[in-house]
Structures are given as structure tokens and as C-alpha cells.
């Protein structure tokens, strides 16, 4: 062909300066784009060969070679795929897919630097110019009598085309890196980037460093195959060992016999797994396969609890595996990763527009070839199809959980502590999911049994209609827990951050149902029946005495006859006020002191059946009465919330003093 020189037809503006600036932090995606083009080209050729339109050489081994040369600062990406004719280079490369370019420019105007879906704009090839000053293509089409084409362009709007001496079908792209991008020719960098984006591409990818002598390995000669390049053969001498005989003399014996060996060029190992687990049928995958895949992909050495293998062909194509990770402590923040793939090509992590937010707490891979990734993210968010995908995934997760509750309740309970924050978050975020899970939310009670909400209400029916008591801190609230246990009243344990918003949600969903922290109020079940009059006098005396002793004029005091006489005092705090306080703390609202709200809603409950309380009432002006009041108050506070450092110091000093008094 005659040498050709031409102008890249790009609408008005020159796209290169934009491409070069584009996605500053994600320059490495050129690897993904060029390698996936090569894989596409091979996949196309394989199809043609399947339907008999192309006769491949017998020994063909479809693969993609990436060759880096740090010395020359070049990267070559070589495929043995379909190749391009001159006309095709013209059409696909020179007349940069208009629609793609336009969509891209349109998008760029909105300036969304962090948009990772880029590259699906049909401009993938040109991403090469983010890192290269000059790019060449050598390509030979599979078509009969095609001539090979050489194309080159130095990043301006002009290109040159001429004959190439390429002999075999396929395409070789060479990047002459720009000054800022030399690192991409580094073998380790290249490996890292390719593993990031191409780990599961469907064609084997090999990486070599052209500057280095090929690595070698030694194998037994009988294992050499036609494909191996033998450098030399040699005899490996027998290995011997000295052993002691029964009579004490030593003898040399042969441990391994002499062997014929061959030194060969190291057999190439592809960087990727062309059949990732999610592409297989669930029946073909063992538990160990799932666990190994999890370890490899997420580098999490804690075993996942369980997983869901998504496998859908109709009405859309979607495959993937979602893992429920093990959470070690309740304090560890749960942060998952959902990796999104498009036909085994990595797109990005955690794309909120496609994957429901609460599922991002899981770990998993989702491959959806039908995703319209060539649109902007905001368009994705409003895309009906994407919504369906997201609903489907949510439904599958719900099905798995409810199914497990129904058929493997024991496992469900075993996993509950780990999975409940996820489920609760899901219920808060997703109406449909909440509906589905409604009957499958369980609560661990203070006896370690798991109950549904219905069962919880049933348990407490005789004591408290429609109230579920809960514990937020088993240590702090142990006194209350013991009281509840003695009185045969149930309470559930809700210690996670998500539990507060979640119970508010449950209250709004289940009319009449109330949640109250175990120290919110004293149930009648703890008290003896008394008449108001009976306690009137002692109430007045004690209130006055305590107010004076503690110097708290606005102290709320309530005197009760508690069945358990050993309890002297305790604090109750109204549920509503406490929730308000918690909320203030959480948001640190306006820098206000949270105790300003409802500080006064704490009530000091004194037990008129307790000997010490009786004693105080009878000796309100006694020598040590103030001391006792202070101590009783602190004891009540202690079993309610931690003391402040100052309170603690006083408490310890006072305790010592009391011991001294005792000793005397
Ligand atoms: P897209 O891959 O989205 O179509 P690209 O800019 O990456 O956009 O590639 C444009 C076109 O150039 C491809 O659709 C394909 O026809 C052709 N092409 C690119 N790379 C190769 C290759 N290695 N082998 C054959 N054709 C290629
Ligand atoms: Mg492409």
C-alpha cells in the first residue's frame, strides 16, 4: 500500500490534551483498555473459528503477551486475535468512534475526575496516549490475503500508515512512554496493574521483561515437551547418604539415583485466572473452592461465614459471589468490597449506583456484561435496568437469609452476631429488604436464647404488654440484669451502634411496640405492693436528706419497696430522655453538653426494704449520714454508667474512709 498520512477525524477539539489530563490518578487503566481490546480480538477470532469462518493453525495457543522494556521505555501488547485490515484501522482507529468521543467530551464538561467507569466510552484505545508520546500498531487481519498494516501517531492529530512486516495474524501495539510514565514499563508495576484489572480476563496474559535474559528452570528430561526451549541437558548425580549399620560401621547408600535433567526456558505462567469461580456452575464448586477464591481475591484470612453464588441468565446476565465476612469484634468497622466486572474485566470497586449501599458491607464479585457502563454514573443511578439488577441482588440475599432461618436455624443463630449489623443496616436502607426480613430478625436474650420480636413480646406479656427491654452494656447493667433474671423478666442484648436507629425503625414498623433500656424504669414486678401513704413519710425524709447530703437541689428521689432487700439504691433514666442524650452525643450537636438534656430525668430509686436505707431514714442527722448518702448515690451511679474521673477519685477516697470507720 502507498504510505498514507492523514488527520484523525475528531470533532472540532483535539481530544488528546484532554485524554492526557484525564483521570490523573487512574492513568494505569490504559493497561486494562489495551489488554481487553486484545482479549476481545481473540474472543472474536475464536468464535469465527468455531463457526468455520477461520481456519486457525493447529498449534495455535490464544494468548496475550505484555512485554515491557524499562531500558527502551516501551510497552508492547501483543495478541493473536482477529487483527485489522487497513480499512478497519481507518474506521476504528482513525475515525475515533464519534459517538464515544462525543459522549466523552460531554461527560468531561461535567468534570467528574473520579469517574472510574471511563474507558467504557469506546475510547479505550486512545487511553494509550495518557502515558505514551508515541503509539504504533502493527496488525494483520485474519482475512485471506490481508496485508499487514503499520500505524503510528505521536499524540498530535496526525497519523501515518504504511505496510507492516507483521507475519502472523493479530495485533501488536507499542507504547513509547512519556517522561511521567516510565514506571509502567517496570515489570513489578506492570504486574501490579495487570493483576488489579485483568486477574480474571478470559484469555491468558503473560508478562515478560525484554531487557532480561529469559529465566530458566531445571526439570527431569522426560518431562520436556515440544513447547519447551531446551538450553542444555545434563546428568544430575545421584544423591547419597551415610547410614550406620547394626554393627556400628557406616555405609554409603544412594538416596536418589542419578537423573537426566534439562535446563529449559522457564515455562510462562499466566497472570490471570481465565475461569474465575463465579463463571462456574455452583454445582461444580466446593466449599474449599469458595474459601480459596475469597482468600485470593480479598486477602482476608478469616474464613467467610457463608456465601451466595449468583447465577442468572434471564432476563439479564449476572454472575457473582457474595460473601458474608466474619467480623471479629463488635468494634471493628465493617467495610466490605464489591468488585464489579464486565465480562471478566474489572471495572471498579463499590459502585454505589449499581450495588445497593448496604451490600457494600459484604465482600464479593459481580460480573454483569449487560451493564450500560458507557453512560455517566448519574444516569446509571436512574437507569431502570440497573435498578432491576440491584433489586435482584437484594432479593437473592434476602432469600438466602430467610431460607437459612427456615432450614438451618442453628447456623443462622450462630452467625447472627456477625451478620446482624448488616441485616439491620439493610432494613434501614431498603424498604423491600426490611419487609422480607421482618419475621427473621432475632434477638439474643439475657439467657443467650434467640427470639423473634413476636417471641420477645410473648415472653414478657404478663409483666409488660408490648415492651421489649434491652441491655446495651452487659457489664454496666449487670445489676439490672440480675434483677430481671430474679423476677423472671426477659431482656434482649443490643450492643451495636446500629441498634439504636434500628429499634426506632422497629417501633415505627410495629405499632404499639416499645423498646426500653433495662434501666429505664422499674417494673412493677420488682416492687411490693404498697399504698402511697405507707411510704409518704419516709419518702419525704429521704428526699430531703439526700438532697442536702449531695448538694443537689433538683435531685429526683423515689422511694420504693423492692422485693429484693439487698438492693439499696439504683438510678433509672427515662428511655426518651436517654435516647435524646445519646443522639446529642452521637452528633455532638451544636457543641452542647448532652447532660443538659434530661440530666434531670435521672431518678435515684431508694429501696425502703433495705437496712441501710432504713438506717439513713432513721438517722437523718447522724454523724456519718452524708457519707452514706454519697456512697449510696455513687453505687447507684456505678451500676448505671461509668463515673467521671473526679467522681471515681472521691468514691475511692470515701470507700477507704468507710473501711477505716469499720476497722475502728
Ligand atoms: P472499544 O473497545 O470500546 O470498541 P477502543 O477504542 O478500545 O473502543 O477500540 C476501538 C476499536 O478498535 C475496537 O472496537 C476494535 O474494533 C478495534 N481494535 C482495538 N484494538 C484492537 C485489537 N487489539 N485487535 C483488533 N481490533 C482492535
Ligand atoms: Mg476497548
Looking at the CA of 97, name the nearest ligand.
1
- Ligand 1 centroid to Cα of residue 343, in Å, is 16
Strand pairing category for 205-209 and 64-69: parallel
**Measured distance CA(189)–CA(27) in Å, rounded:** 12
| 189 CA distance to ligand 1 middle (Å) | 24
Q: Grid coordinates representing 347? A: 471495572
Residue 314 DSSP class: S
DSSP state of 516: E
What is the 176 CA–ligand 1 centroid distance (Å)?
19
Assess whether 229 and 321 both reside in one domain.
no
* Residue pair 457/511 in contact by the 8 Å Cβ criterion: no
Q: Is residue 14 part of a domain?
A: yes
* 243 & 389 share domain: no
Q: Which atom of ligand 1 is nearest to the CA of 121?
A: 3
Q: How far is the CA of 33 from the centre of ligand 1 (A)?
A: 9
The reply to whether 238 and 91 lie within a common domain is no
Nearest to 444 by CA among 422, 467, 414, 424: 414
382 alpha carbon to ligand 1 midpoint, in Å? 29
In a shared domain, residues 579 and 655:
yes
Give the contacts of 4 (CB within 8 A, at least 6 positions apart).
160, 161, 162
pLDDT at position 121 = 47
Tell me whether residue 547 is in a domain: yes
Report the phi/psi class of residue 572: left, alpha or beta, with left for phi > 0 and alpha for psi in -120 to 50: beta
Question: Is residue 375 in some structural domain?
Answer: yes
Distance of CA 507 to the CA centre of its chain: 29
Greater confidence, 43 or 104? 43
Q: How is residue 359 written as a grid cell?
A: 451490600
563, part of any domain = yes
Closest Cα to atom 13 of ligand 1? 92
**Ligand 1 center from residue 14 Cα (angstroms):** 20
The answer for residues whose C-beta is within 8 angstroms of residue 525's C-beta and 6 or more apart is: 463, 487, 488, 489
Closest CA to 346 of 36, 25, 22: 36
What CATH number is attached to the domain comprising 588? 1.20.120.790
Q: Which of 582, 608, 576 is nearest to 595 (CA)?
A: 582
Smallest-distance ligand from the CA of 96 = 1
At 119 the pLDDT is 45
Q: Look at residue 112 in the predicted model and tell me its pLDDT.
A: 44
End position of a domain, from candidates 209, 224, 254 = 209
Residue nearest to atom 16 of ligand 1 (CA): 92
Q: Which three cell numbers stand for residue 299?
A: 486477602
Pick the ligand that lies closest to the CA of residue 129: 1
d(CA 154, CA 141): 24
> What's the pTM value of the predicted model, to 2 decimals?
0.78
- Specify the CATH number for the domain of residue 518: 3.40.50.11260
Rounded percentage of the chain residues whose pLDDT exceeds 70: 89
Contacts for 327 with CB less than 8 Å, ≥ 6 apart: 334, 418, 421
| Pairing, β 158-163 against β 149-153 | antiparallel
To test the pocket of ligand 1, the residue of 75, 80, 125 to mutate (highest count of ligand atoms within 8 Å of its CB) is 125
3-class state of residue 256 by DSSP: strand
| Rg of the chain taking only CA atoms, in angstroms | 37
Confidence of residue 528 (pLDDT cuts 50, 70, 90): confident
Ligand 1, atom 7, lies closest to the CA of: 124
**The ligand 1 atom nearest the CA atom of 124:** 7
Nearest-CA residue for atom 11 of ligand 1? 92
Show Cβ contacts of residue 387 under 8 Å, excluding neighbours closer than 6 positions: none
Which atom of ligand 1 lies closest to the CA of 123? Answer: 6
Question: Do both 30 and 143 map to the same domain?
Answer: yes
The tens digit of pLDDT for each residue in 50-69 reads 888 999 898 899 999 999 99
Q: What is the mean pLDDT of residues 83-103?
A: 75
Pocket test for ligand 1, best of 10, 37, 39 (most atoms within 8 A of CB): 37
State the Cα–Cα distance between residues 252 and 556, nearest whole angstrom.
94
Quick one: which atom of ligand 1 is closest to the CA of 82?
Answer: 25
Position 614 scores a pLDDT of 92
Quote the CA–CA distance of 617 and 541 in Å, as a whole number.
6
Residue bearing the CA closest to ligand 1, atom 8: 122
**208-243, pLDDT tens digit by residue?**
999 999 889 999 999 999 889 999 999 988 888 888
305 C-alpha to ligand 1 centroid (Å): 42
Is 430 among the domain residues?
no
- Ligand 1: residues within 6 Å at CB? 33, 37-38, 41, 79, 81-84, 92-93, 122-125, 171
Ligand nearest to the CA of 83: 1
What's the 35 CA to ligand 2 centre distance in angstroms? 8
The CATH number assigned to the domain holding 87 equals 3.30.565.10
Is the predicted pLDDT of residue 10 greater than 70, yes or no?
no
Q: Output the CA 88–ligand 1 centroid distance in Å.
A: 10
Q: Which of 8-22, 127-141, 334-348, 393-407 has the lowest mean pLDDT?
A: 8-22
Residue 130 has pLDDT above 80, yes or no: yes
Answer with the one of 506, 522, 538 that is the final residue of a domain: 522
Q: Under DSSP, is residue 494 helix (H, G, I), strand (E, B) or coil?
A: coil
Residue 117 has what pLDDT?
Answer: 45
Protein residue closest via CA to atom 3 of ligand 1: 122
For ligand 1, atom 20, the nearest C-alpha belongs to 37
Give the tens place of pLDDT for each residue, 608-633: 999 999 999 999 888 889 999 999 99
Atom 19, ligand 1: residue with shortest CA distance: 37
What mean pLDDT do residues 100-113 have? Answer: 52
pLDDT band at 532 (very low <50, low <70, confident <90, very high): confident
Under 8 Å between Cβ of 574 and 598: yes
**pLDDT grade, residue 115 (50/70/90)?**
very low
- How many angstroms does the Cα of residue 25 sit away from the middle of ligand 1? 24
- Tell whether 549 is covered by a domain: yes
What is the total residue count of the chain? Answer: 664
pLDDT (0 to 100) of residue 114? 41
- CA 274/CA 292 separation, integer angstroms: 16
Q: Same domain for 31 and 129?
A: yes
In a domain, 270, yes or no: no
Encode pLDDT of 539-563 as tens digits.
999 999 999 999 888 889 999 998 8
Asked if residue 434 is part of any domain, the answer here is no
Statement to judge: residues 149 and 240 lie in one domain: no
Q: Can you spell out the DSSP letters for 376-418?
A: -HHHHHT-HHHHHHHHHHHHHHHHHHHHHHHH-HHHHHHHHHH
For residues 255-271, give the mean pLDDT. 91
Judge if 319 and 375 occupy the same domain. Answer: yes
- What is the DSSP code (8-state) at residue 93? I
- Collapsed DSSP state (helix, strand, coil) of residue 501: helix
**Ligand 2: distance of its center to the CA of 187 in Å?**
23
- Cell 446509571: give the residue: 380
* Residue 401's CATH number: 3.30.230.80
pLDDT band at 11 (very low <50, low <70, confident <90, very high): low
Tens-place pLDDT, residues 415-436: 998 899 899 999 999 999 999 9
Tell how far the Cα of 186 is from the centroid of ligand 1, in angstroms. 25
Which residues, including other chains, have CB under 8 Å from residue 192's CB and lie 6 or more apart? none
pLDDT confidence bin for 395, thresholds 50/70/90? very high
CA angle 213–218–222, rounded 5-degree value:
130
Q: What is the 271 CA–ligand 2 centroid distance (Å)? A: 20
CA 50 to chain centre: 40
Q: Which of 377-386, 431-440, 475-484, 513-522 has the lowest mean pLDDT?
A: 377-386
Q: Which domain holds residue 394?
A: 277-411
Task: Using the 3D structure, point to which of 473, 491, 522 is the last residue of a domain.
Answer: 522
Of the ligands numbered here, which is closest to the C-alpha atom of 82?
1
Residue of the CA atom closest to atom 21 of ligand 1: 37
Q: Same structural domain for residues 508 and 619?
A: no
Which numbered ligand comes closest to the C-alpha of 373? Answer: 1
- Non-local CB neighbours of 503 within 8 Å, separated by 6+ positions: 470, 494, 515
pLDDT in tens, 573-608: 888 888 887 777 766 655 566 555 555 678 999 999
Ligand 1 pocket test: which of 43, 45, 92, 130 has the largest number of ligand atoms within 8 Å of its C-beta? 92
Inter-residue contact 535 to 462 (CB < 8 Å): no
Question: Cα(321) to centroid of ligand 1, in Å?
Answer: 30
Q: Which of 567, 578, 565, 547 is nearest to 636 (CA)?
A: 567
Residues 26 and 91 in one domain: yes
Among all ligands shown, which has an atom nearest to the Cα of 80? 1
Protein residue closest via CA to atom 4 of ligand 1:
122
Domain count, the chain: 5
Mean pLDDT over residues 326-347, rounded? Answer: 77
Residue nearest to atom 14 of ligand 1 (CA): 92
φ, ψ at 100 (rounded to 5°): -60, -50
Residue 530 reports pLDDT greater than 90: no
pLDDT at 588: 65
Residue 93 CA: nearest ligand 1 atom is 12
Mutating to test ligand 1, I would choose from 35, 39, 40 the residue with most ligand atoms within 8 A of its C-beta, which is 40
- Between the CA of 540 and the centroid of ligand 2 the distance, in Å, is 84
Ligand nearest to the CA of 84: 1
pLDDT (0 to 100) of residue 23: 47
Is the same domain home to 554 and 641? yes
Ligand 2: centre distance to CA 37 (Å): 5
- Strands 467-471, 492-493: parallel, antiparallel or unpaired by DSSP? parallel
Same domain, yes or no: 121 and 8:
yes
Per-residue confidence band for 16, with pLDDT thresholds at 50, 70 and 90: low
- Return the ∠ at Cα 469 (arms to 529 and 334), rounded to 5°: 165
386 versus 148: the higher-pLDDT residue is 148
3-state secondary structure 360-375: HHCEEEEECCCCCCCC
Closest ligand, as measured to the CA of 32: 2
Q: Is the dihedral of CA 418, 423, 426, 427 positive or negative?
A: negative
Contact 117, 348 (CB under 8 A): yes
Amino acid at each position: 500500500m502507498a504510505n498514507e498520512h492523514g488527520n484523525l477525524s475528531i470533532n472540532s477539539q483535539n481530544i488528546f490534551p484532554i485524554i492526557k489530563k484525564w483521570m490523573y490518578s487512574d492513568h494505569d487503566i490504559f493497561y486494562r483498555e489495551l489488554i481487553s481490546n486484545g482479549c476481545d480480538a481473540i474472543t472474536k477470532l475464536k468464535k469465527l473459528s468455531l463457526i468455520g469462518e477461520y481456519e486457525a493453525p493447529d498449534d495455535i495457543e490464544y494468548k496475550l503477551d505484555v512485554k515491557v522494556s524499562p531500558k527502551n521505555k516501551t510497552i508492547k501488547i501483543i495478541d493473536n486475535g482477529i487483527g485489522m485490515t487497513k480499512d478497519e484501522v481507518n474506521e476504528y482507529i482513525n475515525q475515533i468512534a464519534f459517538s464515544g468521543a462525543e459522549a466523552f467530551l460531554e461527560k468531561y464538561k461535567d468534570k467528574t475526575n473520579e469517574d472510574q467507569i471511563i474507558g467504557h466510552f469506546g475510547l479505550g484505545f486512545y487511553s494509550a496516549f495518557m502515558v505514551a508520546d508515541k503509539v504504533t500498531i502493527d496488525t494483520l487481519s485474519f482475512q485471506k490475503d490481508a496485508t499487514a498494516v503499520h500505524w503510528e501517531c505521536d499524540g498530535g492529530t496526525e497519523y501515518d500508515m504504511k505496510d507492516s512486516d507483521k507475519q502472523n495474524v493479530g495485533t501488536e501495539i507499542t507504547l513509547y512512554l512519556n517522561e511521567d510514565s516510565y514506571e509502567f514499563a517496570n515489570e513489578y508495576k506492570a504486574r501490579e496493574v495487570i493483576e488489579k484489572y485483568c486477574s480474571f480476563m478470559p484469555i491468558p496474559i503473560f508478562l515478560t521483561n525484554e531487557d532480561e535474559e529469559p529465566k530458566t528452570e531445571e526439570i527431569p528430561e522426560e518431562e520436556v515437551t515440544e513447547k519447551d526451549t531446551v538450553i542444555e541437558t545434563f546428568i544430575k548425580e545421584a544423591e547419597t547418604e551415610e547410614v550406620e549399620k547394626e554393627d556400628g560401621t557406616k555405609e554409603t547408600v544412594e538416596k536418589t539415583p542419578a537423573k537426566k535433567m534439562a535446563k529449559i526456558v522457564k515455562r510462562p505462567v499466566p497472570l490471570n485466572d481465565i475461569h474465575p469461580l463465579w463463571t462456574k456452575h455452583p454445582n461444580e464448586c466446593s466449599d474449599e473452592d469458595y474459601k480459596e477464591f475469597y482468600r485470593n481475591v480479598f486477602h482476608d484470612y478469616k474464613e467467610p461465614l457463608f456465601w451466595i453464588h449468583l447465577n442468572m441468565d434471564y432476563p439479564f446476565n449476572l454472575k457473582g459471589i457474595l460473601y458474608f465476612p466474619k467480623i471479629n469484634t463488635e468494634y471493628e468497622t465493617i467495610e466490605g468490597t464489591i468488585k464489579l466486572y464486565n465480562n471478566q474485566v474489572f471495572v471498579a470497586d463499590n459502585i454505589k449506583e449499581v450495588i445497593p449501599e448496604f451490600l457494600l458491607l459484604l465482600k464479593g464479585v459481580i460480573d454483569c456484561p449487560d451493564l450500560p457502563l458507557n453512560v455517566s454514573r448519574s444516569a446509571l443511578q436512574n437507569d431502570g435496568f440497573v435498578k432491576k439488577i440491584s433489586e435482584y441482588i437484594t432479593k437473592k440475599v434476602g432469600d438466602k437469609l430467610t431460607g437459612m432461618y427456615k432450614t438451618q436455624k442453628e447456623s443462622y443463630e450462630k452467625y447472627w452476631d456477625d451478620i446482624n449489623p448488616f441485616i439491620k443496616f439493610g432494613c434501614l436502607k431498603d424498604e423491600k429488604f426490611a419487609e422480607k426480613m421482618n419475621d427473621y430478625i432475632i434477638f439474643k436474650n439475657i439467657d443467650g436464647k434467640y427470639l423473634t420480636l413476636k417471641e420477645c413480646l410473648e415472653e414478657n406479656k404478663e409483666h409488660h404488654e408490648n415492651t421489649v427491654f434491652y441491655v446495651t452494656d452487659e457489664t454496666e447493667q449487670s445489676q439490672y440484669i440480675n434483677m430481671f433474671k430474679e423476677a423472671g423478666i426477659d431482656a434482649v442484648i443490643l450492643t451495636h451502634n446500629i441498634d439504636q436507629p434500628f429499634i426506632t425503625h422497629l417501633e415505627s414498623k410495629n405499632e404499639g411496640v416499645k423498646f426500653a433500656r433495662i434501666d429505664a424504669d422499674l417494673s412493677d414486678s420488682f416492687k411490693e405492693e404498697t399504698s402511697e401513704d405507707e411510704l409518704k413519710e419516709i419518702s419525704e425524709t429521704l428526699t430531703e436528706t439526700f438532697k442536702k447530703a449531695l448538694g443537689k437541689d433538683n435531685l429526683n428521689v423515689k422511694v420504693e419497696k423492692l422485693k429484693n432487700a439487698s438492693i439499696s439504691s439504683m438510678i433509672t433514666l427515662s428511655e426518651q430522655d436517654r435516647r435524646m442524650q445519646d443522639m446529642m452525643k452521637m452528633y455532638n450537636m451544636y457543641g452542647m453538653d448532652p447532660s443538659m438534656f434530661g440530666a434531670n430525668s435521672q431518678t435515684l430509686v431508694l429501696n425502703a426494704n433495705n437496712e441501710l436505707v432504713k438506717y439513713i431514714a432513721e438517722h437523718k442527722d447522724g454523724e456519718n449520714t452524708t457519707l452514706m448518702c454519697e456512697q449510696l448515690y455513687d453505687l447507684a451511679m456505678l451500676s448505671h454508667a461509668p463515673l467521671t474521673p473526679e467522681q471515681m477519685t472521691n468514691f475511692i477516697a470515701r470507700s477507704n474512709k468507710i473501711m477505716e470507720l469499720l476497722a475502728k
